[in-house]
């Protein structure tokens, strides 16, 4: 039975049981606790947590999932995968244990002709939580399973929660006995290779506290409504029904391995080492394509780093299989063909996927070439020093400077019989990460305990947002928090979080920054500094009490900073227009990959299939400004997502949309799903001026623009600068470029002449320096610290000249040139010295550490640099000692 049929049978069965079919959510839902969606229940969390009422009592889905904790184990065994599909049926206060067990058993044991999976009941086992005798009784009653095939397990195995305070409960699992050839008798508690888990049924019935019952924590009470969350592993059921050994041999994965076999000429199943590489390729190709399909692009942190790591492990594995040409686009095509029937967005968006993997592979192949050389030098130095551990700072340099992922460094080190100081590497990484993110933590709630916000939502309901039409409104305070703790009031000078029953203030989302303004009441005034949606539907205002005292039920009138809001709206509307123009220039593959809409300035990131032409960006700017002159009305309306897409509305990758969506139209030019605020007519933008563009990652480009009066000020500033330059050069403005080029040309000529004079001056000292050569163990040594101002070219030229003046003698020349807080050096050897076994490159390590640097080169000449010029004298002594010891 093909995997697509397994999916279809599962969904049809539960639809026939009154469940609403819900499409898979994106792998990158907006959940601060998750990097990727890793379970079928994730998109239903708001219903389980009581944040919003469920729109249906029963649901079923096939959810795409990615788990990244075991990336390093993928391929080494057949059990670890990063991407998988989880089939689930869910009940929100409807049926409970009995209904869940009945339905699961019926589907997996019914004959294929009756729409089931036809698994033999005699080979099925069940596990239950150690305190859940009720479930054990239901398994016996409903299925007829004998007592010995129902096993009790502890909390680590059979208690479920979300990892944070909230819902929890016992779970029950279904296992399939693969037979004695796969392991020992005795059920799942004895051998989970022979007894394969295929389905987990979670009975969500309790509330847990700060400490999970898995760790001995108490159950705080019963949930007001009991829920069902189940998950059936599609890939596991597939390899049972397809009669193969593991997921890598199923119909959706084996084609990738087959393509890798064609590329490499190796055969899967020939030896374990190659099999590991084939499995890495197959697993990561699926995961990579699915992640890109949901809007992830390769980067250096977060989701982007995980994707980059997956793609680079594929390339690395293929090189170890002997393949050096590009492979990722071909593997992407195989994944598209295999997964497309279930996920048609992979087909419609394939051009973008192919572009991203191609660009990433090209970049990594270049990285492999340069980084491998650096790694080989570091590994050689480590071995020569008698060490077996590559230093953490070396691994960090490979990562930070050359883009080498740490797992690749670990693999290459292992191949050379070395380990890596991972603790040192991760310390340096954490220091860098903390520096980069020092200013971000204070604004968001991140992974904190959100229960207090959920409680406010339950008590007061969702905040009514009035800001689409009103910038001023009267509201009532329904919640106050100080330091995350509920309080009854706050006095002048205090900074607190405030929740209103209704608000005109926009909460930061969709790339649009939050509103600011004031809240006024009887004898009380508050400044609104920020607004965030900590949990869906709840607007949390971060305020400072500037006068009086505010308390629960206080009535306040909120006034949004109108001037600032209008500037933000101009930026947001400009982003839509730039998006439309970019799509017109580059096609659908130019998908939005991020944006920031702040007062008077917008930032827009988009995916590309290659270099972005400056001419096209100029055309984009002209096209947008031409369209502004039409002054069309900006309209918005709410419709179903399917209807919006039929109308041609653009949906953004990674965004979570409900059944009803808000569409923003700017004539026929731009139509997008958007929850932000916008101008009333596009003529209000005035002017859109692109001021910066850059590449921010593989296949992702960023443009920045100023809008409205900010754009006008920028243009005026540029005009003034041009006028000043024209006055300085005493030419009309239209002749300015030619005049500047002429001056620059003459300047470059003068610099070359000065450089030649400096070189001649430096070379003039070659004779006197050669005469100062000291005899060290039969070697003529010239080791000198040069004055400031001699560049690297001059140092090399001088060393070559001195070496020539040493004639037929065995000689070594070492010159050090300080420049501020750095020092460069060159070592040169004569032919007679090389005959004695003295190689310039091998002499460098004898002194490089003293000047805080390193270097290398050929036997006749080597060079390098350091960061401690004060160590030059000591370095000369070290070199002399090294020659004396030869």
Sign of CA dihedral 346, 347, 352, 357: positive
pLDDT at 415 over 80: no
Which token pair is 526? 């508050």
State whether residue 429 is helix, strand or coil.
Answer: helix
Maximum mean pLDDT: which of 212-226, 295-309, 802-816:
802-816
Strands 124-129 and 150-153: what pairing?
A: parallel
Residue 664: strand pairing partners: 636, 672
Residue 284 annotated in ligand binding: no
Q: What is the average per-residue pLDDT within 343-351?
A: 90
Quote the percentage of the chain above a pLDDT of 90.
60
Give the pLDDT of residue 788: 73
Which token pair is 178? 């693969």
Give the pLDDT of residue 449: 55
CB atoms within 10 A of CB 5: 14
Residue 531 contacts by C-beta under 8 Å, 6 or more apart in sequence? 503, 505, 506, 507, 508, 514, 515, 539, 540, 541, 542
Q: What is the 3-state secondary structure (H, E, C) of 322-380?
A: CCCCCCHHHHHHHHHHHHCCCCCHHHHCHHHHHHHHHHHHHHHHHHHHHHHHHHHHHHH
Q: What is the DSSP letter of 850?
A: G
Q: What is the CB-side half-sphere exposure of residue 871 using CA atoms within 13 A? A: 19
CB burial readout 601-635, b (16+ within 10 A) else e: bbbbbbbbbeebeeeebeebbebbbebbeeebebe
Q: What is the average per-residue pLDDT within 366-390?
A: 82
Q: What pTM was computed for the model?
A: 0.64
Which token pair is 84? 């998988």
Helix ranges, 16-75 (H): 45-48
Query: What confidence tens digit (pLDDT) does each residue in 726-780 have?
Result: 899 888 988 888 989 999 999 999 888 877 776 676 677 888 889 889 999 999 9
Residue 65 annotated in ligand binding: no
Strands 166-177 and 195-208: what pairing?
A: antiparallel
Give the pLDDT of residue 506: 97
pLDDT at 804 over 80: yes
Report which of residues 299 and 232 the model is more confident about.
Answer: 232
Give the pLDDT of residue 414: 83
Give the pLDDT of residue 656: 63
Q: CA-to-CA distance for 325 and 310, rounded, in angstroms? A: 18
Query: What confidence tens digit (pLDDT) does each residue in 107-152 have?
Result: 999 999 999 999 999 999 999 999 999 999 999 999 999 999 999 9
Residue 447 annotated in ligand binding: no
pLDDT at 2 over 90: yes
Which token pair is 26? 């994106």
Give the pLDDT of residue 209: 85
Q: What is the average per-residue pLDDT within 799-812?
A: 92
Q: What is the 3-state secondary structure (H, E, C) of 622-655?
A: HHHHHHHCCCCEEEEEEEEHHHHHHCCCECCCCC
Q: Which residue do the tokens 């599962």 mark?
A: 10
Sheet holding 822-829, edge to edge: 774-776, 779-785, 811-819, 822-829, 861-866, 853-857
326 within 8 A of 361, measured Cβ to Cβ: yes
Q: What is the average per-residue pLDDT within 470-482?
A: 95
Q: What is the 3-state secondary structure (H, E, C) of 662-716?
A: EEEEECCCEEEECCCCCCCEHHHHCCEEEEEEEEEECCEEEEEEEECHHHHHHHH
Sign of CA dihedral 469, 474, 480, 481: positive
Report which of residues 136 and 71 the model is more confident about.
Answer: 136
Q: Minimum mean pLDDT among 276-285, 586-595, 724-733, 760-769: which range?
A: 760-769
Give the pLDDT of residue 447: 36
Q: CA-to-CA distance for 828 and 584, rounded, in angstroms? A: 58
Query: What confidence tens digit (pLDDT) does each residue in 521-532 have?
Result: 999 999 999 999
pLDDT band of 216, cuts 50, 70, 90: confident
pLDDT at 718 over 90: no
Q: CA-to-CA distance for 751 and 466, rounded, in angstroms? A: 64
Give the pLDDT of residue 564: 96
Q: CA-to-CA distance for 713 and 706, rounded, in angstroms? A: 9
∠ Cα 358 359 360 (to 5°): 90
Give the pLDDT of residue 139: 97
Give the pLDDT of residue 378: 86
**Looking only at Cα atoms, what is the longest distance across the chain?**
103
Give the pLDDT of residue 861: 92
pLDDT at 324 over 90: no
Maximum mean pLDDT: which of 515-519, 532-536, 614-618, 804-808:
515-519
Q: CA-to-CA distance for 759 and 789, rounded, in angstroms? A: 11
**Average pLDDT of the chain to the nearest whole number:** 89
Report which of residues 753 and 340 the model is more confident about.
Answer: 340
pLDDT at 80 over 70: yes
Query: What confidence tens digit (pLDDT) does each residue in 655-705 have?
Result: 666 778 999 999 999 999 999 999 999 999 999 999 988 887 767 889 999
CB atoms within 10 A of CB 133: 11
Strands 464-465 and 472-482: what pairing?
A: unpaired
Residue 678 annotated in ligand binding: yes
Give the pLDDT of residue 653: 56
Give the pLDDT of residue 443: 39
Query: What confidence tens digit (pLDDT) does each residue in 154-181 have?
Result: 999 999 988 778 889 999 999 999 999 9
Sheet holding 601-607, edge to edge: 592-598, 601-607, 700-707, 688-697
pLDDT at 320 over 90: no
Q: What is the average per-residue pLDDT within 366-377?
A: 78
Give the pLDDT of residue 655: 61
């Amino acid at each position: 039975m093909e995997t697509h049929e397994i999916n279809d049978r599962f969904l049809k069965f539960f639809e026939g049981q009154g469940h609403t079919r819900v499409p898979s959510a994106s792998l990158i839902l907006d959940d601060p606790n998750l990097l990727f969606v890793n379970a079928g229940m994730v998109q239903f969390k708001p219903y389980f947590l009581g944040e919003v009422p469920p729109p249906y009592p029963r649901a079923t889905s096939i959810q795409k999932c990615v788990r990244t904790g075991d990336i390093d184990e993928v391929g080494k065994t057949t059990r670890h995968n990063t991407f998988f599909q989880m089939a689930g049926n869910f009940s929100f206060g409807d049926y409970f244990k009995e209904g869940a067990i009945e339905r699961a058993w019926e589907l997996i044991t019914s004959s294929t002709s009756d729409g089931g999976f036809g698994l033999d009941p005699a080979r099925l086992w069940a596990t239950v939580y150690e305190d859940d005798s009720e479930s054990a009784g239901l398994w016996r009653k409903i299925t007829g399973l004998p007592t010995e095939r129902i096993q009790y397990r502890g909390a680590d195995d059979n208690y479920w929660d979300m990892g944070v305070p909230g819902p929890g409960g016992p779970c029950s699992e279904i296992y399939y006995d693969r037979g004695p050839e796969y392991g020992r008798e005795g059920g799942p508690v004895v051998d989970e290779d022979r007894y394969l888990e295929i389905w987990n049924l979670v009975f969500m019935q309790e509330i847990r506290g700060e400490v999970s019952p898995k760790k001995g924590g108490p159950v705080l009470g019963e949930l007001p409504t009991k829920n069902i969350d189940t998950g059936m592993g599609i890939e596991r059921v597939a390899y049972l029904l397809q009669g193969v050994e593991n997921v890598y041999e199923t119909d959706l994965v084996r084609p990738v391995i087959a393509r890798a076999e064609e590329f490499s000429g190796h055969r899967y199943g020939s030896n374990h080492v190659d099999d590991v590489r084939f499995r890495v390729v197959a697993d990561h190709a699926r995961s990579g394509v699915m992640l890109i399909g949901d809007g992830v692009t390769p980067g250096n942190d977060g989701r982007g780093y995980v994707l980059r790591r997956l793609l680079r492990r594929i390339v690395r594995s293929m090189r170890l299989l002997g393949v050096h040409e590009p492979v990722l686009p071909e593997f992407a095509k195989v994944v598209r063909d295999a997964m497309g029937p279930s996920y048609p967005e992979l087909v419609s968006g394939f051009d973008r996927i192919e572009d991203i993997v191609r660009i990433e592979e090209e970049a990594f192949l270049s990285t492999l070439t340069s980084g491998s050389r650096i790694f080989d030098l570091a590994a050689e130095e480590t071995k020569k020093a008698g060490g077996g551990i590559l230093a953490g700072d070396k691994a960090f340099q490979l990562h930070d400077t050359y883009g080498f992922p740490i797992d690749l460094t670990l693999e290459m080190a292992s191949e050379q019989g070395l380990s890596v100081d991972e603790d040192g590497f991760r310390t340096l990484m954490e220091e860098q990460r903390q520096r980069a993110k020092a200013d971000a933590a204070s604004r968001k709630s991140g992974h904190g305990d959100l229960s207090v916000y959920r409680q406010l939502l339950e008590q007061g309901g969702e905040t009514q947002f009035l800001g689409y039409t009103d910038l001023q409104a009267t509201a009532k305070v329904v919640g106050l928090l100080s330091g995350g703790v509920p309080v009854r009031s706050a006095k002048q000078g205090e900074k607190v979080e405030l929740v209103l029953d209704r608000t005109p203030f926009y909460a930061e989302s969709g790339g649009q920054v939050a509103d600011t303004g004031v809240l006024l009441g009887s004898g009380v005034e508050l400044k609104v500094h920020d607004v965030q949606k900590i949990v869906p539907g709840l607007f949390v205002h971060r305020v400072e009490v500037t006068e009086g005292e505010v308390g629960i039920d206080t009535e306040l009138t909120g006034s949004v900073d109108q001037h600032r809001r209008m500037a933000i709206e101009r930026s947001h509307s400009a982003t839509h227009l730039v998006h439309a123009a970019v799509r017109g220039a580059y096609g659908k593959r130019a998908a939005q990959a991020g944006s920031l809409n702040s007062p008077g300035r917008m930032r827009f990131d988009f995916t590309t299939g290659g270099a972005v032409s400056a001419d096209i960006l100029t055309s984009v700017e002209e096209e947008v400004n031409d369209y502004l002159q039409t002054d069309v009305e900006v309209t918005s309306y709410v419709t179903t997502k399917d209807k919006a897409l039929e109308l041609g509305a653009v949906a953004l990758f990674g965004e979570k949309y409900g059944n009803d969506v808000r569409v923003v139209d700017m004539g026929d030019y731009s139509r997008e799903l958007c929850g932000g605020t916008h101008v009333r007519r596009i003529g209000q933008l005035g002017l859109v001026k692109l001021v910066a563009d850059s590449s921010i990652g593989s296949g992702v480009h960023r443009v920045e623009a100023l809008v409205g009066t900010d754009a006008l000020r920028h243009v005026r500033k540029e005009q003034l600068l041009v006028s000043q330059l024209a006055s300085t050069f005493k030419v009309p403005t239209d002749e300015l470029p030619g005049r500047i080029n002429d001056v620059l040309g003459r300047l470059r000529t003068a610099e070359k002449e000065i450089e030649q004079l400096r070189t001649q001056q430096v070379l003039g000292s070659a004779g006197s320096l050669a005469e100062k050569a000291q005899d060290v163990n039969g070697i003529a040594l010239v080791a000198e610290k040069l004055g400031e101002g001699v560049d690297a070219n001059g140092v090399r030229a001088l060393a070559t000249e001195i070496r020539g003046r040493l004639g037929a003698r065995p000689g070594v020349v070492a010159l050090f040139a300080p420049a501020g807080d750095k020092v460069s050096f060159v070592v040169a050897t004569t032919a007679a010295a090389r005959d004695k076994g003295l190689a310039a490159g091998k002499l460098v390590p004898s002194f490089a550490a003293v000047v805080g640097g390193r270097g290398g080169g050929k036997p006749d000449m080597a060079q390098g640099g350091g960061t401690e010029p004060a160590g030059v004298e000591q370095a000369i002594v070290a070199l002399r000692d090294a020659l004396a010891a030869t």
